[in-house]
């Protein structure tokens, strides 16, 4: 993609750029922070922008009347799952990031993993949980697991379980968020790879003293450690980047996103999930990877926006 300047971006959007943020998902507060940071970055560069909270009544009418281009800074259901993307396509408003189908697939971690299994892409063993599940049999098959709502982000509703009783309790705590599954716990290191306009940015290794990289470790703790460069050999980081790109492309994702991966003690990588609208807060990972690649926050948001304008990926 040819680099676009602020002048060419302003010309392309006609001064009609909105940042969609907020919404009604469990990730609303993170989205408010992401949207505010993105809008401020555009303003610092002379790009006219307005913030629109999709929790407000009449946001679609306002958007249709006044804007031609949207930067989506919504996280979770209702913003990252293809619903807003579908509404924008009906309105004829261009938007950043992945389209309807890719957004929906990435948001549903359970179906995403089913797709990866069919394509032969490495992901930890998993099993859907229901009221009829045989908790003891699942633990016997998978061992220690992490329980996840299929369609939430930011580690909301997630917990570890190593016994039948813990598994049932974890399921009961997560089912308020919809479909739930158990994923085999991988003992090893966690990495994340940001994708920007067709290329993988430098990988980040995540280290936390918590039981896992949970909501507190992601957004609140100052003790979480982010290693970038990640410490892998050049060959291993290339393998990780290629796997992340394969996962991103397998869903039909576009523009930008982030792929989370575990590496076990034998050195094998396992895909966890794809985030199509990652956080853009002061604790967020994509800006960190972009900085390592030589892009500051302002350049990053311009690159994301330029990708949706010049490539015609989202319309």
Give catalytic residue positions: 27, 154, 219, 258, 260, 273, 275, 279
264/191 Cα distance (integer angstroms)? 11
102: its two tokens: 């890719």
Look at the alpha carbons of 174, 57, 52, 65 in this order and tell me if their dihedral is positive or negative.
positive
Q: Residue 247: name the closest of 80, 76, 75, 118 by CA.
A: 118
Alpha helices (H) in the chain, listed in sequence order: 6-13, 28-44, 59-66, 83-91, 100-107, 109-119, 135-142, 164-174, 215-219, 234-250, 285-292, 297-310
Is the Cα torsion angle 136, 138, 141, 147 positive or negative in sign? Answer: negative
Q: What is the DSSP string of 181-237?
A: EEEEPP-EEEEEEEEETTEEPPPEEEE-SSSSS-HHHHHT-S--EEESS-S--HHHH
Cβ pair 264, 187 in contact under 8 A: yes
Contact 239, 261 (CB under 8 A): no
């Amino acid at each position: 993609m040819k680099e676009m300047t602020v002048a060419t971006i302003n010309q392309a959007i006609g001064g009609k750029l909105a940042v969609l943020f907020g919404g009604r998902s469990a990730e609303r507060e993170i989205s408010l922070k992401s949207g505010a940071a993105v809008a401020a970055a555009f303003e610092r560069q002379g790009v006219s922008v307005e913030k629109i909270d999709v929790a407000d009544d009449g946001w679609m009418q306002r958007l249709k009347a006044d804007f031609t281009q949207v930067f989506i800074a919504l996280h979770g259901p209702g913003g990252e799952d293809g619903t807003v993307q579908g509404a924008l396509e009906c309105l004829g408003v261009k938007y950043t990031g992945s389209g309807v189908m890719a957004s929906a697939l990435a948001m549903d971690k359970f179906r995403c993993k089913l797709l990866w299994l069919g394509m032969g892409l490495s992901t930890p063993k998993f099993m859907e949980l229901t009221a009829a599940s045989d908790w003891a049999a699942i633990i016997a098959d998978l061992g220690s697991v992490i329980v996840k709502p299929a369609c939430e982000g930011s580690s909301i509703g997630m917990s570890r379980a190593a016994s039948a009783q813990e598994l049932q309790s974890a399921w009961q705590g997560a089912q308020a968020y919809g479909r739930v599954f158990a994923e085999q716990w991988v003992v090893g290191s966690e990495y994340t790879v940001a994708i920007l306009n067709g290329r993988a940015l430098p990988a980040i290794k995540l280290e936390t003293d918590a039981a896992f990289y949970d909501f507190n470790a992601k957004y609140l703790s100052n003790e979480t450690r982010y290693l970038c460069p990640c410490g892998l050999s050049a060959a291993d980081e290339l393998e990780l980047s290629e796997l992340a790109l394969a996962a991103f492309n397998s869903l039909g994702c576009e523009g930008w996103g982030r792929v989370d991966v575990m590496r076990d003690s034998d050195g094998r990588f396992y895909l966890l999930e794809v985030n199509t609208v990652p956080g853009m807060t002061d604790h967020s990972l994509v800006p960190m990877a972009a900085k390592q690649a030589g892009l500051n926050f302002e350049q990053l948001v311009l690159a994301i926006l330029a990708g949706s304008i010049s490539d015609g990926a989202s319309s």
